[in-house]
Amino acid sequence: MTDQALSAHQTVPSKPTSASRTTLSHIMTAHDTNLLGTVHGGVIMKLVDDAAGAVAGRHSGGPAVTASMDEMVFLEPVRVGDLVHVRAQVNWTGRSSMEVGVRVMAERWNESTPATQVGSAYLVFAAVDAEGKPRPVPQVVPGTERDKRRYQEAQIRRTHRLARRRAIKELRDKRAAEGIGD
Ligand SMILES: CC(C)(COP(=O)(O)OP(=O)(O)OC[C@H]1O[C@@H](n2cnc3c(N)ncnc32)[C@H](O)[C@@H]1OP(=O)(O)O)[C@@H](O)C(=O)NCCC(=O)NCCS
């Protein structure tokens, strides 16, 4: 990020978690199935990315792109006729990046039984300007104790992502320096 963008970062007003929290709901149909007859994981991942993208755009007040998606967990199969609710919120913000946490719930479309959790994921979005360059984001202010816990957990994931990336780069650089190919 440029020095100009960094100084702008300090003046972008912060926003509460609740300002951008969003739920996207969708009924699963026969078009969404895999060869086993249950809903394709990629269909759920698309909904997760859509909901997280809406949250990142709302929080940052403009375009934001998916930088990474990790810890996508599928807990239960999703079936045709399930009404799927994808709940997303900004867990943490850096300078230009935001971690968005997503919880996927499902309930039968025509029954009044409670929805159960079928999946979850964490995505990192980068807010970008018209040239696609990272731009500063408002700092997120966690409102509830749950939001505060999610903020702290997101910081742990951020530390691990950076450490993993650094360690892999160091290993590759070392192998390259030793003349070892892929
Ligand atoms: C994401 C992107 C904007 C980052 O650009 P960059 O030039 O590497 O910029 P930076 O290194 O300054 O990274 C910007 C921020 O994103 C974060 N980031 C970048 N890559 C990341 C990754 N793989 N995982 C997690 N965070 C990442 C950085 O930590 C930084 O956060 P911070 O500003 O809060 O400290 C750029 O790689 C891009 O445009 N990727 C394609 C995005 C896209 O098209 N997504 C849709 C896929 S179909």
* Owner of token pair 């966690």: 142
Pocket test for ligand 1, best of 45, 95, 124 (most atoms within 8 A of CB): 124
Give residue 163's pLDDT. 98
Per the rule left: phi > 0, alpha: psi between -120 and 50, beta: everything else, 37 is left
Q: Residue 134: CB within 6 Å of ligand 1?
A: yes
84 closest CA partner among 56, 112, 103, 69? 103
100 closest CA partner among 72, 128, 135? 72
- For ligand 1, the distance from its centroid to the CA atom of residue 1, given in whole angstroms, is 11
- Assess contact for 91 and 101: CB atoms under 8 A: yes
Would you state the structure tokens that stand for residue 51, as one six-digit string? 């909901």
Environment class of 74 (CB within 10 Å of its CB; exposed 0-12, middle 13-18, buried 19+): middle
- For ligand 1, the distance from its centroid to the CA atom of residue 94, given in whole angstroms, is 11
99 closest CA partner among 72, 126, 117, 76? 126
Q: Residue 96: CB within 6 Å of ligand 1?
A: yes
Q: Residue 129: CB within 6 Å of ligand 1?
A: no
Give residue 10's pLDDT. 58
Tens digits of residue pLDDT in 79-115: 999 999 999 999 999 999 999 999 999 999 999 999 9
Pairing mode, strands 15-16 and 140-141: parallel
- For ligand 1, the distance from its centroid to the CA atom of residue 162, given in whole angstroms, is 12
Backbone φ, ψ for residue 124 (5° rounding): -110, 130
Domains of the chain: 3-142 (3.10.129.10)
Atom of ligand 1 nearest to the CA of 126: 16
Tens digits of residue pLDDT in 15-34: 999 999 999 999 999 999 99
Residue 8 pLDDT more than 70? no
- Protein residue closest via CA to atom 28 of ligand 1: 97
Supply the pTM of this predicted model.
Answer: 0.93
- Assess contact for 67 and 97: CB atoms under 8 A: yes
